[in-house]
Amino acid sequence: MAFPSDIEIAQINEHDRMKDINEIAEKVGLESKDIEPYGHYKAKISGSGISKAMKNDDGKLILVTSINPTPAGEGKSTVAIGLADSLQALGKKTVLALREPSLGPVMGIKGGATGGGYAQVVPMEDINLHFTGDMHALTSAINTLAALIDNHMHQGNQLNIDPRRIIWKRALDINDRALRSTVIGLGSPINSIPREEHFEITVASELMAILCLSQDLDDLKERIASILIAYTFDKKPVFVRDLHVEGAITMLLKDALKPNLVQTLENTPAIIHGGPFANIAHGCNSILATKLAMKLGDYTITEGGFGADLGGEKFMDIVTPRLNHAPNAVVIVATIRALKYNGGQQLADLENEDLKALTLGFKNLKRHIQNMRYYNVPVIVSINRFATDTENEIKLLTSLCDEVGVDVELTEIHHKGSKGGIDLAKAVIKAADKASNYSRLYEDEQTTEEKIATIASEIYGANNVEYSDKAKKQLKSLKDNVWDDLPVCIAKTQYSLSDDPKKLGSPKDFTLHVKSLVPKLGAGFIVVLTGNVMTMPGLPSKPAALNMDVDNTGKISGLF
């Protein structure tokens, strides 16, 4: 019998297995009035719940990250969820803090954002579809702001906004390639001013990053007011506060700012909230979610998007200072398959033993171990076991890890749930007991070039940074506007430590090419583009939507 699909596992006796969300809230000391239920298995944590939690001390924070992703699959979310279940099985009060999935990709490519096998957050259908409406609130807020900008120009353009220099983009939570490049405002003078518009996917919008970095509604409003939306005809910056609509836009996000509570298949509480793109934004769940999880649990498991060079670095340099709490331990997830792929073995051959490829591919893992150690936090390697991993390969990997002095744990979380992650959980408990001594890679006060140079050399391993003419101009503009005391958020391919997706393993002696710099003044970072980042994905030739269905009782099929 084939191993069941994720949705099949999630639906086995779901109403017996899932506990009422009030019971999950009770586990972490929250009463019925501290949560706002959305159905019987999801809730938002209300203002009173947040205030109550904030009085607690912080528990320990574990960051799960990974090697550079490969088509072989690493299973980072699955490990994060399973690790939380394993810690709970060991009697530890544990809370997950994860990103919420975007609906767009769900319709495109099979593959969930809610874990897999016996390590899932549930109800997985709801979480993957509309959940508690956060993405929809963001989409509404993003497009309302855009409509207000166009309407301002249409109604006399008192602010003198140049329609050719509008930065704020409309968004949909849909993979819609046809909206990447459009012309709007056509047809008649009553239809506003004709201009180019480039829709993004909602999670790529600055507003998502802002939601994830805001401490409360006042902070959210202040950040929204600070968004750079356009330039005037005489090239002066225009902010949301100039339009006087930060109140209305914040109002639309009033509920979206409240973190969401759900559970794993093993009833571990999970706070799932916010999910910014991991390349052009920082790729971590909301600060509020992680904070709350730390206040409510003795152990909090969270993850960063893509590999440790992207989500990991951003968690350390952007999130940690705002969270005021560094990870007490970092888990780097890999698979022997993915390491062999990094070492040059072909995708079709990964089931065959290849010690040479494993040795070569290990260099990628080694670099990420070193990188996370720059921050002075304990590091553990977690290897997701596959049936095709050979004894020789496991022995080799163990000895390679021994050489760099890192603890390596094998897990079988996908097939066995918490039982498959007990050793990892024990290692995490031990590591997190060590005194934490986080040190940051750079200071915000350094120049933008210095910050970029530091990340390029220390994290990526580049020996040079090259700026395009456009980027050089933009560096000057950042200085002229005094916008350069912000952290940098580097947009780079996730497939390589370099900016070339084909350079696997641990490339050396390469140049990082900075194409342009985008100030995100609401989020509070400078996006550094090192390639063409697509902010609106497309659908494949056979979209996953073709297989999806729902019966008359509401039961869904074909969703993962």
Interaction of residue 558 with a copy of itself, rule CB under 8 A: yes
247 touches a copy of itself (CB under 8 A): yes
- Return the bridge partners of 260, or none: 44, 272
Binding of a copy of itself at residue 532 (CB under 8 A)? Answer: no
474 by Cβ neighbours in 10 Å (0-12 / 13-18 / 19+) ranks as buried
Nearest Cα neighbor of 326 from 455, 408, 440 is 440
Identify residues 151-190 at the interface with a copy of itself (CB under 8 A).
Answer: 151, 154-156, 172-188, 190
Cα 422–chain centre separation: 26
Minimal distance, residue 108 CB to a copy of itself, in Å: 9
Q: What is the dihedral of CA 117, 121, 127, 129, to 10 degrees?
A: 0
> Quick one: which segment of 226-234, 244-252, 386-394, 492-500 binds a copy of itself (CB under 8 A)?
244-252
Q: Three-state SS for 412?
A: coil
Q: Which residue, 215 or 511, is less far from a copy of itself as judged by CB?
A: 215
Ranges within 193-212 binding a copy of itself (CB under 8 A): 193, 195, 197
Q: In this chain, which stretch among 35-43, 87-95, 300-308, 484-492 interacts with a copy of itself, using CB under 8 A? A: 35-43
Which residue lies nearer to a copy of itself by CB, 365 or 529? 529
Which residues within the stretch 89-128 sit at the binding site for a copy of itself (CB under 8 A)? 103, 107
13 binds a copy of itself per the rule CB under 8 A: no
Q: What DSSP letter does each residue of 315-380 carry, written as one string?
A: IIIIIHHHHT---SEEEEEE-HHHHHHHTT--GGGTTS--HHHHHHHHHHHHHHHHHHHHTT--EE
Overall size of the chain counted in residues: 560
The number of beta carbons lying within 10 Å of the beta carbon of residue 294 is: 24
- How many residues contact a copy of itself, by CB under 8 A? 81
Nearest CB to a copy of itself, comparing residues 97 and 256: 256
Binding site members for ATP: 70-77
Q: Give whichever of 324 and 553 is closer to a copy of itself, judged by the CB atom.
A: 553
Q: Tell me which residues in 36-65 interact with a copy of itself (CB under 8 A).
A: 36-40, 44, 47
CB of 45 to a copy of itself, least distance (A): 12
Lay out the site mask for a copy of itself across 126-155 (x = CB under 8 A, - = otherwise): ---xx--x--xx-xx--xx-xxx-xx--xx
Q: Judge residue 321's burial from the number of C-beta atoms within 10 Å of its C-beta, 0-12 exposed, 13-18 middle, 19 or more buried.
A: middle
Measured from the CB atom, is 21 or 431 closer to a copy of itself?
21
Should residue 252 be labelled a site residue for a copy of itself when binding is judged by CB under 8 A?
yes
Return the ∠ at Cα 39 (arms to 36 and 42), rounded to 5°: 65
Distance in Å, CB of 104 to a copy of itself, minimum: 9
How many Cα atoms within 13 Å fall on the side-chain side of residue 506? 21
Contact 461, 506 (CB under 8 A): yes
191 binds a copy of itself (CB under 8 A): yes
Q: Which stretch binds a copy of itself (CB under 8 A): 228-236, 251-259, 443-451, 517-525?
A: 251-259
Q: Rounded distance, CA 515 to CA 354, Å? A: 38
Question: Which spans in 464-512 are helix H?
Answer: 469-480
Among 12, 23, 244, 376, which residue sits at the site for a copy of itself (rule: CB under 8 A)? 244
Q: Which is nearer to a copy of itself, 324 or 541 (CB)?
A: 541
Closer by beta carbon to a copy of itself, 90 or else 184:
184
User: Could you tell me which residues are annotated as the binding site?
Assistant: 70-77
Q: Name residue 262's beta-bridge partners.
A: 270
The answer to the question of residue 546 lying near a copy of itself (CB under 8 A) is yes
479, HSE (Cβ side, Cα atoms, 13 Å): 10
Residue 210's nearest CA partner among 279, 271, 138, 259 is: 138
The single residue among 11, 65, 68, 192 that binds a copy of itself, judged by CB under 8 A, is 192
**Out of 14, 255, 353, 449, the residue judged to bind a copy of itself by CB under 8 A:** 255
Residue type, 329: A
